[in-house]
Amino acid sequence: MGIALPGIPDIDRGIVTLSRTLSSKDISIAKLTEHIPYPCFVENDANAGGVAEWWNHQEHDNMVYLSIQRGVGGAVLLDGVRYMGRHHHSGEFGHMCIVPGGQRCLCGRRGCLEAYCSTARISSDLGITREEFFEALEAGNTEYQKIWSDYLDHLAIGINNIRMVLDCDIILGGVLAHFMGPYLDDLRFRLRNISSFETTGDFLKLSRYLSWSTCVGVALHFISDFIDSI
């Protein structure tokens, strides 16, 4: 059984150390799994998504997976191996500051990418669903067009920062990926305009698994173990 959470698992201590999206910390992994009569694997949702996308994008030497949902996170894969960082914090792109002193984030700080590009901004913050937002956007709702333009501007800043540091392809995933197809060229255009280097923006690609990459990624843990055992 694969379990993916928007938090940071510490397998050695047997806990999920922090999950701001769930407003929880130090969640016992044993408590999560004690009633499941199968071998269990607990992973960060964005890391699992990154593994799935790498598995389906093997032409990339290095890759970043950027997950845009209510929370914003990601994963860094170097030659197919996840770079976790000293404290397993690698890929927490949602808490990269893009507007100093800007809007308050769930983490308590201001100006985070997540504060500007969480999907809550185009759904629950407006009292509507994501589907309703994009339907109104396509119908020409001028208020939503302004919100979406601002959203894409901030998302482009975050993506450009990641690209500047890691200089690799970036896969855009999470629930936002379900809606991004018609707007991908617009986002690439914004990336071209703010990049310090000549680029077509084609380093940004859309997830093949969309919001299901997390499920595929945790399943691949067991598939990989099986293949290694043969």
**Angle at the Cα of 66 from the Cα atoms of 47 and 40, rounded to 5 degrees:** 20
Q: Rounded distance, CA 150 to CA 157, Å?
A: 11
Total structural domains within the chain: 1
- Whether pTM exceeds 0.85: yes
Structural contact between residues 168 and 62, judged by C-beta atoms closer than 8 angstroms: yes
- In eight-state DSSP terms, residue 57 is -
Domain of residue 126: give its range. Answer: 2-229
69-98: pLDDT as tens digits: 999 999 999 988 889 888 777 899 999 999
Q: What is the enclosing helix (H) or strand (E) of 59?
A: none
Residue range 174-182: average pLDDT? 96
Burial class from Cβ neighbours inside 10 Å (0-12, 13-18, 19+) for residue 205 reads middle
Percent of the chain scoring above 70 in pLDDT: 96
Q: Computed from CA positions of residues 100, 148, 157, 178, in that sequence, does the dihedral angle turn out positive or negative?
A: positive
Q: What is the CATH number of the domain that holds 31?
A: 3.30.420.40
Structural contact between residues 27 and 19, judged by C-beta atoms closer than 8 angstroms: yes
